[in-house]
A and B are shown apart, each in its own frame.
Chain A
Amino acid sequence: MQMIRDVDLTNGYWGALYVLAPMRGNFCVIIDGPIGCHYVPVDSALNYTDAIPYLQNVYATHILEGDVALDGTLNKLKKLCGELIDHYDDIFILSCQESEIISSEGSMLEAEVDGRRIWYIHTRSLDSDDFQGRDDLMLHLYKHVAAKLPRQPKKTSDKPLVNIIGPTFGNFNHYADFAEVKRIVHGIGAEINVAFPFECALHDVTRLDDAAANIIMYQEYGQKLGEAMGKPMFFGPIGLEATQEFIVGLGEALGLRQQAEAFIAEEKRTTLQGFWDVWRSPHQDIFRTNTFGVYAHKTYADGLSRFLRDELGFEQYIYGVKTDRYRSKSAMNIEEALLENPPTLFFGCVNEKIYITEHILPTRFLPAATPMPIVCRSTGTPFMGFAGVVYITQIVSNELFDILYSHIHIEYTPEKDKRRRDRETARKEWEDQLKGKLVITEVKWPEETLAHMEKVLKKVPFFVRVSASKMLKVESEKIAKEQFRDYVTIEDVDQVYSRFKR
Chain B
Amino acid sequence: MEPIKSIKLATQSPCPAFGGLRILTRLEGFLPILLGNHGCYYGLNFLSHFYAARKSIYAPMLYSIDFTDRNLHHKLLEAIQQIIREEKPEFIPVINLCVATTVGIDIDEMARQIPEIIPIRITGFGTRSHAEAKDVALEGIFKKLKQLGDHKLREPKAVAAVGEIFPADAITLENLMVKLGLKFRAQVPSKDINDFRKALNVSTIACLHPFYTKTMRQFSEVGIDHIAGAPVGIENTYNWIKEIAAKAGADAALAEKVAREEQEAVRQVVNGPLNLKGARILVAGYEGIELLVARLLIEAGADVPYVSTSIGKSALTEADVNWLLARGIEVKFRKSAADDLVAVKKYKPDIALAATDVAAMGKELGSASVYFTNLISARPLFLAHGAENILGLMHHLLKSRNSLNRVREFFQDTEMARSIPVQEVQEYLGCSSCSACDDREAN
Contacts and interface: CB of A to CB of B under 8 A. Distances in A.
Interface stretch (A64-72, A110-118, A149-157, A431-439): A64-72
B124 A98 contact: yes
A87 to B, nearest CB: 5
A97 B101 CA distance: 12
Contact of B57 (A6, A65, A76, A80): A6
Contacts of A8: 42, 45
Nearest to B44: A40
A56 interface: yes
Contacts of A350: 46, 49-50
A127 B38 CA distance: 9
B14 A351 contact: no
Interface string B32-63: 01001111111111110110001111111101
B414 interface: no
Contacts of A130: 39, 42
A373 B46 contact: yes
A138 B360 CA distance: 30
A56 B419 contact: yes
B124 A41 contact: no
B125 A97 contact: no
B357 A354 contact: no
B56 A5 contact: yes
A56 B13 CA distance: 17
Interface stretch (A46-54, A251-259, A454-462): A46-54
B50 A1 contact: no
B367 interface: no
Contact of A65 (B6, B36, B82, B125): B125
Contacts of B66: 1
Given A1-B78, A98-B125, A126 B63 contact: yes
Interface in A83-130: 83-84, 87, 96-98, 100-102, 125-127, 129-130
A10 B43 contact: yes
Contacts of B64: 100-101, 126-127
B110 interface: no
B296 interface: no
Given A126-B63, A354-B54, A3 B80 contact: yes
A453 B61 CA distance: 41
B201 interface: no
Contact of A62 (B10, B17, B18): B10
A4 interface: yes
A457 B320 CA distance: 61
Contacts of A326: 38, 61
A230 interface: no
Interface residues on chain A, size class: 35 or more
Contacts of B124: 33-37, 63, 98
Contacts of A59: 3, 6-7
Nearest to B97: A36
B39 A10 contact: yes
B123 interface: yes
Contacts of B47: 40, 44-45
Given A34-B124, A39-B13, A53 B36 contact: no
Contacts of B227: none
B325 interface: no
Given A54-B360, A98-B102, A3 B60 contact: yes
Instruction: Name which of B63, B355, B357 has the most chain A CB atoms within 10 A of its CB.
Output: B357
Nearest to A24: B417
Contacts of A34: 98, 123-125
Contacts of B78: 1
Interface string B1-42: 101011101111111111000000000000001001111111
A202 to B, nearest CB: 16
B54 A1 contact: no
A97 B102 CA distance: 11
B153 interface: no
A2 B60 CA distance: 6
Contacts of A44: 14-15, 18, 43, 46-47
Contacts of A5: 56-58
Interface residues of B, number: 65
B16 A35 contact: yes
B58 A4 contact: yes
A67 B14 CA distance: 20
A9 B38 contact: yes
Nearest to A102: B102
A60 interface: yes
B126 interface: yes
Q: For B45, B46, B60, B76, which residue has the most chain A Cβ atoms within 10 angstroms?
A: B46
B381 interface: no
B99 A101 contact: yes
**Interface core residue of B16, B18, B33, B61 (most chain A CB under 10 Å):** B61
A38 interface: yes
Contacts of A47: 356
B60 A48 contact: no
Contacts of A48: 46, 50
B240 interface: no
Interface in B80-127: 80, 82-83, 98-99, 102-103, 123-126
A221 to B, nearest CB: 16
A60 B10 contact: yes
B206 to A, nearest CB: 30
A7 interface: yes
Residue among B1, B39, B57, B80 with the highest chain A CB neighbour number at 10 A: B39
B75 A40 contact: no
Contact of B43 (A45, A64, A125, A354): A45
B45 A7 contact: yes
B76 A373 contact: no
B222 interface: no
A13 interface: yes
B361 interface: yes
Contact of B42 (A10, A33, A62, A354): A10
A495 interface: no
Contacts of A358: 54
Contacts of A11: 37-39, 42
A40 B45 contact: no
B125 A2 contact: no
B79 interface: yes
A465 B81 CA distance: 43
A61 interface: yes
Contacts of B357: 43, 53-54
A7 B54 contact: no
Given A357-B54, A358-B54, 4 more contacts: A1-B75, A3-B82, A37-B39, A45-B43
8 contacts: A1-B76, A4-B59, A6-B56, A10-B39, A36-B15, A40-B47, A62-B9, A101-B103
Interface of A: 1-14, 33-41, 43-45, 47-48, 52-54, 56, 59-65, 67-68, 76, 80, 83-84, 87, 96-98, 100-102, 125-127, 129-130, 326, 350-351, 354, 357-358, 371, 373
